Amino acid sequence: MPILQVAIPRPLYNYFNYLPPLGVDINQLSPGMRLQVPFGKHSYIGMLLNISDNSDFPINKLKPALKIIDSTPILSVDELGLLKWAANYYHYPIGKVITTALPTALNQGLPASIKPVIGWQLTKTAIELDSIPKNASQQRAILELLQQHPQGLAQTVITNNLPKSTPSLKTLHKKGWIELIVPINNQLLSKSSHLQLNQAQDEVVNQTCANLHQFYPALLDGVTGSGKTEVYLQIIQEVLNQGKQAIVLVPEINLTPQIVNRFEQRFAIPIATWHSKLTKTERLHTWLLAKDGIAPIVIGTRSAIWIPLARPGIFIVDEEHDSSYKQQDTFRYSARDIAVVRAKRASVPVLLGSATPSLDSLHNAIYERYRHFSLPERAGTAIHPAYHIVDMRNQPKKESLSRPLTRAIKQRLEAKQQVLLFINRRGYASTLTCYKCGWVAFCQHCDARLTYHETSKNLQCHHCGVMQPLYNKCPGCNHTKLYLLGQGTERIEEYLQIQFPTARILRIDSDSTSRKHAMEDILTRIHTGEVDILIGTQMLAKGHHFPKVTLVGVINVDSGLYGSDFRSSERMAQLLIQVAGRAGRAEEPGEVIIQTYHPEHPLLAKLVRQGYPSFAQAALQERHKAAFPPYTYLALLRAEATTHPPLEFLEKAKQLAQQCETVQLWGPVMSPMEKRADWYRAQLLLQALQRKHLHDFIAQWLPTLPASNNKKVRWSLDVDPQDLF
């Protein structure tokens, strides 16, 4: 009797056995197909993992699956193998892993189908281009394009190459000069020529292209503005020439429009995108186009790493150091690490690019697990920006911007150049307080202060999202005069409007970019010169190319200099170098002014005087002495409770592990933010010198812990945690 082994989307670590649906031939079933199966009082859409001849449970107690969703597998055996590996490595339920990897539409049981890709080709009717009216230039351009490609072109290729050509296509079709063809294979059509590479760039392209038929992990360590994107483009060109596909990961949704535009300028082929602002249907469309091999290039954020490819050719992770590649809740995977695993399983290269590589990746390069490429100079004629540190202790206390920064802004405005001001705090003021009794406005649900937002006239918690009106008197002493302390992007914007009333100022943070296509509109305004001063948070520090920006001002660097996490200094260094890299990326030289109350801080001194490589070398030495990653391996058991701190649960978990000699357990302790969204939080840290020892221990230890759906305590495990909060 054939037994179906099915993963269901429940927080359970094992698969479940079912009989085939009644009346269904077993030959109709294959691993990778979705099934609707009964489970308790409900039914779920599950994934068929395997068909076996035996079961651990009596056959007469097994239920039959209710129905088959797919006629053919939607996941290949290799793709299922990747998901099983991820479930084992991150010690997470396989059914929930599969749910994460699939588009919502497929998890809901919708058909795995899309409209066929249509294309156009010339009819056999002879066409005289001279007979086309002079005012019908778009029609002429379409016909000339199709004459170059008699086999036909996909409509998306035509519209990418000739924007706004859809009406002209309909007109030509009515005239009988072109005809529809379905289906259509997309043809590679170069829209713009390659840029000239320097020697360092050329080595990366040549070496990577020479190894396209094997696993070739490489770290592309290139300073900001060194032309990493051009390297990606030229490598992908060769991948496409070989009929293969590429996935390019970017850390933030706001980077997607810029890099997609760059790719569309180079290739007249459909560029599939993947990010959180796509609709359910759009995500399904992208997933299926890539799976069927129709989309040669996929560009997306973290979860795009799960998109299946018919012919994988290369995986590229841009800004590989960015912490947003690590999922911070539910299934806590690292998209960067999954990219390396996928490349190894597919025997293709993986390229990790960054101007400030993570210490983990640098460690792998040092030990020759990765090939280490370096791009030490900016592309073209651009030069590295000059750094200046301003001691804010010598500046007027009431002024948000130092006098040297104010003078520099005025000079750039007079020269018709752009200025970027960075402050990693949105809102107007971070604290509302009463000087009379010392009361501070705290969130009732979190151990965090409420931030005042001038645009909404509300206080908001940036951790749980709760909003409330501004107090008109102190709840502690009824004093009517309250003070707003600290500064965010809104307050800096207000200050600049007073100091530079004629300047065109644009604020860029998660509040101003929340609507769909907002970031695309903002980038267009910046590149067309409609903005003089940009004010933004860290979303401005990641990969943007602003050729007219010649001055970067870092307003409050001190907030990142001191942190409880051992990665705090690494993140601060990366953020500072990244935002500084927005200055002077074209012909005009750039300048970076850093405001600080701690000008002698060793991190600042090393970064400014010796650069990121020197900092990274020193930081790795410190990590080695302290036995922190990448020299050891960590996992974090987090627990939360609504009524009291969950330390008792973690103590019991620790007691269950006392016999282990290869793994150390530290804690339990309360999390740095003890209360968040009405949940008290605590954690237990696991540390091992060898990865295998850590995973062997977790595999034996995890089943002994109570179920994670405990109403009093909920817990989760984070393997390779990036934040100890």
Residue 244 lies in a domain: no
Pairing of β 34-39 and β 42-52? antiparallel
pLDDT for position 183: 57
Radius of gyration of the chain (CA): 28
**Is 296 in the same domain as 413?**
no
Residue 462 lies in a domain: no
d(CA 69, CA 111): 8
**Is 368 in the same domain as 288?**
yes
**Is 71 in the same domain as 168?**
no
**Is 354 in the same domain as 394?**
no
Residue 60 lies in a domain: yes
Identity at 685, one-letter amino acid code: L
192 to each of 145, 161, 246, 594, how far by Cα in Å?
15, 10, 19, 39
**Is 535 in the same domain as 670?**
no
Nearest C-alpha neighbor of 698 from the set 719, 714, 713, 684? 719
pLDDT for position 186: 53
Determine which helix (DSSP H) or strand (DSSP E) holds 386, and give its type and residue range: strand 386-391
pLDDT for position 676: 93
Residue 194 lies in a domain: no
Q: Are 18 and 25 in contact (CB under 8 A)?
A: no
**Is 296 in the same domain as 221?**
yes
Nearest C-alpha neighbor of 419 from the set 407, 427, 434, 435? 407
49 to each of 8, 99, 124, 222, how far by Cα in Å?
10, 14, 50, 42
Residue 224 lies in a domain: yes
User: Which of 375, 397, 412 is the endpoint of a domain?
Assistant: 375
Residue 624 lies in a domain: no
Q: Which domain holds residue 675?
A: 633-719
**Is 158 in the same domain as 84?**
no
Whether this prediction's pTM lies above 0.85 is answered by yes
**Is 205 in the same domain as 352?**
yes
User: Which of 63, 83, 107 is the endpoint of a domain?
Assistant: 107
pLDDT for position 106: 96
Residue 320 lies in a domain: yes
pLDDT for position 513: 67
For residue 665, the Cα-to-chain-centroid distance in whole angstroms is 31
pLDDT for position 301: 94
pLDDT along the chain (725 residues), means of 10: 93 91 90 95 95 86 93 95 98 96 95 82 74 80 85 78 84 88 58 80 96 97 90 95 95 81 82 87 92 92 96 97 94 98 98 96 96 88 81 83 93 92 90 93 94 92 92 92 91 93 88 70 82 86 78 85 83 89 77 90 87 93 94 96 90 85 92 92 96 95 76 90 85
pLDDT for position 74: 96
CATH number of the domain to which 343 belongs: 3.40.50.300
**Is 690 in the same domain as 545?**
no
- The pair phi, psi for residue 232, each rounded to 5°, is -55, -45
pLDDT for position 378: 78
User: Which of 151, 181, 211 is the endpoint of a domain?
Assistant: 181
Pairing of β 458-460 and β 467-469? antiparallel
**Is 303 in the same domain as 330?**
yes
Residue 620 lies in a domain: no
**Is 72 in the same domain as 161?**
no
3-state secondary structure of 68: strand
Label residues 138-174 b or e (16+ Cβ within 10 Å = b). bbeebbebbeebeebbbbbbbbbbbeebeebbeebee
**Is 493 in the same domain as 639?**
no
Number of domains present in the structure of the chain: 5
